[in-house]
Structure 1
Amino acid sequence: MAVSANRLELLQIADAVAREKSIDKFVVLEAMEEAIQKAARSRYGSENEIRAEIDPKTGDIRLYRLLEVVEMVENDATQIPLEEALARNPAAQVGDFLSEALPPLDFGRIAAQTAKQVIVQKVRDAERDRQYEEYKDRIGEIVNGIVKRVEYGNVVVDLGRAEAIMRRDEGLPRETFHNGDRARAYVYDVRREARGPQIFLSRTHPQFMAKLFAQEVPEVYDGVIEIKAVARDPSSRAKIAVISRDSSIDPVGACVGMRGSRVQAVVGELQGEKIDIIEWSPDPATFIVNALAPAEVSKVVLDEDTKRIEVVVPDDQLSLAIGRRGQNVRLASQLTGWDIDILTEAEESTRRQEEFRAKSEMFARDLDVEETIAQLLAAEGFTSIEEVAYVAEDELSGIQGFDEEIAGALQARAREKIDERDARFEVERKEMGVEDAVAALPNMTPSMLVVLGKAGVKTLDDFADLATDELTSPKDGLLKDFDLDDATATEMVMAARAHWFADEEEDDEQTSSDAIA
């Protein structure tokens, strides 16, 4: 059968649109079918269930109306009685659909315009779906494109098969783009939105630098060298931590390259951003010392619970360790994930002396001993009278200048002092109304009871409602000032909740007894 020119033209249009928009030809044909259906409904009545089919080989358009086979007709436009259906098709059953051919449709101006709008919208939706599906899996990649326009500092980049946007705060400071410029950036997010998929680019993202090194350093691309962390102050300075999985390869040297060729290629792309390449270490102290380079570090003190580290540097290294406007220590903190406090050796010495003096005064006052004995206790690392009271006696008597008699007397005084203090706390907690049941919990001390009472925790249920971190959190835990670990705190909370389960068991037993009766 010969195919008419207008039908051939229909297929050619579908092919051309599919190629131009990089979408499936059948999606375009489906859009055309829907457009014809919409136009036919306006001609034959919107109450009719009309379908259109376009033959993808010949371009023939078939228009028909669907009729549901029913026992009793309620709607003549969409239903047909069983008797009439059997006359048309002897195999027809209730619930089947019969198709009734309709004459070819002559498109008027309004119908044609409506059809065009449907096709354009369908093609646009298909193009958006294609763009989203193509780029949603490219998050984390570097893409290249041409700057299409710049709007209020936001750069719209043509990626060839889609458009992306690089917001003003995702571009490097003092870097300007003009129409037609080539742009290389990192895809950090792809979102579905009402106006179509939005592809977001960045040149300030830390992973942009990591991906640039992967392009410039074959060992990084192959996975022999791993980039563990990146911290950036865009277009100013950055730190990157690397580790080698092959002991024969120096990770820092490989990233720097011969005469700095590899790192300079990355620096050039980032508008002269200075890059410190640091060897990563599983030991936090070593890693942090490396991260503070080029400053030298004398001593570090870690607090793993709060992820805070105190770094002591020589007096002449302080400004180098802190960096211009705090940049060096800030980047080191971002790189390692630790809060870093920097002290000079002089400041650390002054503070240590102050702590020693405060401890000595505390021991002299609380134990009623001479200053020399108090200083000896502080020098040996004792920090509280509890430690003096309950430490093994031979540890005290082993201190130079002490003997068994002095050690015994010190422990007796310490225990007496603790008993007096606990008696005061006991009176105070009772005045606040803290229940005896709370005091009976394991590992609970009188001083803890006073702190809980001041916080409004006075009954067993009050304490049972608390979570472990509400007790031990270094930031705002109720008992953060006590040497209480998470396991002990959990044990205390579960002990407080024990009566809940006992009450439930009693209720179950009572229910069973009632059922038997």
Structure 2
Amino acid sequence: MAITSANQLELLQTAEAVAREKMIDPRLVIEAMEESLARAAKSRYGAEMDIRVKIDRKTGRATFTRVRTVVEDDAVENYQAEFTVEQAKQYMADPQVGDEYVEEVPPVDLGRIAAQSAKQVILQKVREAERDRQYEEFKDRAGTIINGIVKREEYGNVIVDVGAGEAILRRNEKIGREAYRPNDRIRCYIKDVRREPRGPQIFLSRTAPEFMAELFKMEVPEIYDGIIEIKAVARDPGSRAKIAVVSYDNSIDPVGACVGMRGSRVQAVVNELQGEKIDIIPWNQDVPTFLVNALQPAEVTKVVLYEDAERIEVVVPEEQLSLAIGRRGQNVRLASQLTGLDIDIMTEEEESKRRQAEFENRTRLFMDTLDLDEFFAQLLVAEGFTNLEEVAYVDLDELLVIEGVDESTAAELQARARDYLEAQNKAALENARALGVEDSLVEFEGLTPQMIEALAKDGVKTLEDFATCADWELAGGWTTVNGERVKDEGILEPFDVSLEEAQNMVMTARILLGWVDPAELESAEEAEEGDDTEEEEAGA
């Protein structure tokens, strides 16, 4: 069939029909038709020719043109689509390099094979336009809730019709043993939207903590209006969850607002989440107080926060231990996710035994290193001294407050402590040199002999080796693996080197080696501070 012999208006009608069906711009369909006709014309006139087709948007008439471009004399590569200035003078009055000469050529009647090829081009372009439209529609909806209809289930994954396309709810994103049948209505959280070769992929979730947060936003007007904010959510999907909320209006109770009259608001969320029990907790800026709230309904006796280690110790009465831990550790696990801290729970008896063990260990340390009797060593521990450095370098007045200690006794204590530490430092330095440590690392400011020895045992023997270390390799840190926080041991962690101190030491080493320009570093820090200031002003 020859397209050029068909009713010209039929092209426009076809374009509009396809555009309506696929919900895309008719211009995209017409452009696809133009490209397909141009490709078919090239197969007739020659693939090297620059043939272009323009379809009139009002009449539907297809105009075929050949385009030749004026180039430099020595730049002609394609004689069918390019020509020199001299050659162009035959067709143009004053040709300049870069000008185009356009001449109309006879329309092409498409044979069966050419028509089929043109059809494939149009279908491909329409399909691409449809995919682009779907991606543009959903890319900004990531992080929101969407309603859909179940179409089918494939290997445990649910394919959901979301109106303008299909989305996938993977089996690990379903709550418990949820089962769906075709045409069931389903509500999900749009977790991610990706542009992929086979089209946009929309990934849904019903287990994401954000799903619960969005459900509460729908049920609680105060959250939607920003009067109440959800600070954190922790879930064991289908079983139990904890959600921390705070109110910015003193007259509104955040927990009561989320619960609703006779529990109506929270019950609506519970029903959507297949009966998942939800603990609504008041958020508090004070971490220990927040943790006490998070461990409800268990009662907490004492909380000790270790900020550098992002760890917290909780002491509970014996009868409250099982309640605080929860079934299979669920309560403490959710509280840990909510606060972002590792939680160690112990009973009052266990804490007492641990404190007693620490007291005995410190007492033995002072007895062995300072040649003291047990009573005197216990006095030091009772006054809060935990290591030899504190005894050796503390102000003399702090030793004089100990009962029975005069100036000469205090001076003797400090002398013994310093002698012992110096001997330890000398031994550590000798061990480090025996392992091959170079002077560049020994002379680096901020590292003690014990630190240098520890670095040498780990293979860090030069300043260059030290400069290539990451801060977490030195100070330690935490990595999340499969939802669980795993401890990364640091080389200098036993010496209480913080992450910030490790960062500063590594950067200083890089500056000394000439790897980093201090001026550039200072400029970058000033720029970063400027950005922070602008963000604060914008927020204000």
Q: Provide TM-score, normalisation by structure 1.
A: 0.88
Q: What residue in structure 1 maps to residue 367 of structure 2?
A: 364
- SS of the equivalent of 1:63 reads strand
CA distance in 2, matches of 1:308, 1:165: 38
Query: In 2, are the aligned partners of 1:441 and 1:492 still within 8 Å (CA)?
Result: no
CA distance in 2, matches of 1:448, 1:79: 72
CA distance in 2, matches of 1:473, 1:135: 40
Which stretch of the first structure deviates more once superposed, 270-279 or 38-47? Answer: 38-47
Q: What residue in structure 2 maps to residue 37 of structure 1?
A: 38
Asked if 1:234 is matched to 2:237, the reply is yes
The structure that has the greater radius of gyration is: 1
Identity %: 62
Q: What residue in structure 2 maps to residue 128 of structure 1?
A: 131
Residue of 205, 216, 219 corresponding to 1:213: 216
Give, in angstroms, the shift of residue 240 of structure 1: 0.9
User: In the TM superposition, what are the counterparts of 1:226-305 in structure 2 within 5 Å?
Assistant: 226-305=229-308
After superposition, give the CA deviation of every residue in 1:462-508 in whole Å (9 maximum; x if it has no partner). Answer: 55555555443364333322244567666766776786469x9xxxx
CA distance in 2, matches of 1:118, 1:457: 61
Q: What residue in structure 1 maps to residue 167 of structure 2?
A: 164
- Cα 1:496–1:28 change in 2 (3 A) is closer
Give, in angstroms, the shift of residue 431 of structure 1: 4.3
After superposition, give the CA deviation of every residue in 1:295-330 in whole Å (9 maximum; x if it has no partner). Answer: 111111111111011111111111111111111111
Give, in angstroms, the shift of residue 262 of structure 1: 0.5
Give, in angstroms, the shift of residue 252 of structure 1: 0.9
Asked if 1:23 is matched to 2:24, the reply is yes
CA distance in 1, matches of 2:253, 2:408: 61
- Cα 1:146–1:459 change in 2 (3 A) is closer
Give, in angstroms, the shift of residue 420 of structure 1: 4.1
User: In the TM superposition, what are the counterparts of 1:45-194 in structure 2 within 5 Å?
Assistant: 45-68=46-69, 77-78=80-81, 90=93, 95-194=98-197
User: In the TM superposition, what are the counterparts of 1:344-493 in structure 2 within 5 Å?
Assistant: 344-404=347-407, 406-435=409-438, 438-459=441-462, 461-463=464-466, 466=469, 469-473=472-476, 475-485=488-498
Aligned residues: 500
Show structure 2 runs of 5+ residues with no match: 478-487, 518-540
- Cα 1:86–1:291 change in 2 (3 A) is same
Q: What residue in structure 2 maps to residue 199 of structure 1?
A: 202
Query: In 2, are the aligned partners of 1:172 and 1:234 still within 8 Å (CA)?
Result: yes
- Cα 1:105–1:468 change in 2 (3 A) is closer
CA distance in 2, matches of 1:155, 1:214: 25
Query: In 2, are the aligned partners of 1:438 and 1:459 still within 8 Å (CA)?
Result: yes
- Cα 1:248–1:56 change in 2 (3 A) is same
Q: What residue in structure 2 maps to residue 514 of structure 1?
A: none
- Cα 1:399–1:220 change in 2 (3 A) is same
Which stretch of the first structure deviates more once superposed, 489-498 or 27-36? Answer: 489-498
Give, in angstroms, the shift of residue 86 of structure 1: 5.3
Which stretch of the first structure deviates more once superposed, 484-493 or 469-478? Answer: 484-493
CA distance in 2, matches of 1:84, 1:311: 90
- SS of the equivalent of 1:361 reads helix
After superposition, give the CA deviation of every residue in 1:36-95 in whole Å (9 maximum; x if it has no partner). Answer: 222222333333322211111111121222234579898664457878865655455565
CA distance in 1, matches of 2:435, 2:15: 83
Give, in angstroms, the shift of residue 440 of structure 1: 4.4
Aligned AA for 1:18? A
Query: In 2, are the aligned partners of 1:438 and 1:496 still within 8 Å (CA)?
Result: no
Show structure 1 runs of 5+ residues with no match: 505-517
After superposition, give the CA deviation of every residue in 1:372-424 in whole Å (9 maximum; x if it has no partner). Answer: 22222222221122222332333223224544454344334333433444454
- SS of the equivalent of 1:140 reads coil
Query: In 1, are the aligned partners of 2:316 and 2:345 still within 8 Å (CA)?
Result: yes
CA distance in 2, matches of 1:191, 1:383: 55
Which stretch of the first structure deviates more once superposed, 28-37 or 123-132? Answer: 28-37
Give, in angstroms, the shift of residue 444 of structure 1: 4.3
CA distance in 1, matches of 2:510, 2:49: 67
Q: Provide TM-score, normalisation by structure 2.
A: 0.84
CA distance in 2, matches of 1:326, 1:340: 11
Aligned AA for 2:301? S
Give, in angstroms, the shift of residue 200 of structure 1: 0.9
Query: In 1, are the aligned partners of 2:476 and 2:499 still within 8 Å (CA)?
Result: no
Query: In 2, are the aligned partners of 1:188 and 1:200 still within 8 Å (CA)?
Result: yes
- SS of the equivalent of 2:493 reads coil
Give, in angstroms, the shift of residue 198 of structure 1: 0.8
Give the superposed CA RMSD.
3.0
Aligned AA for 1:64? T
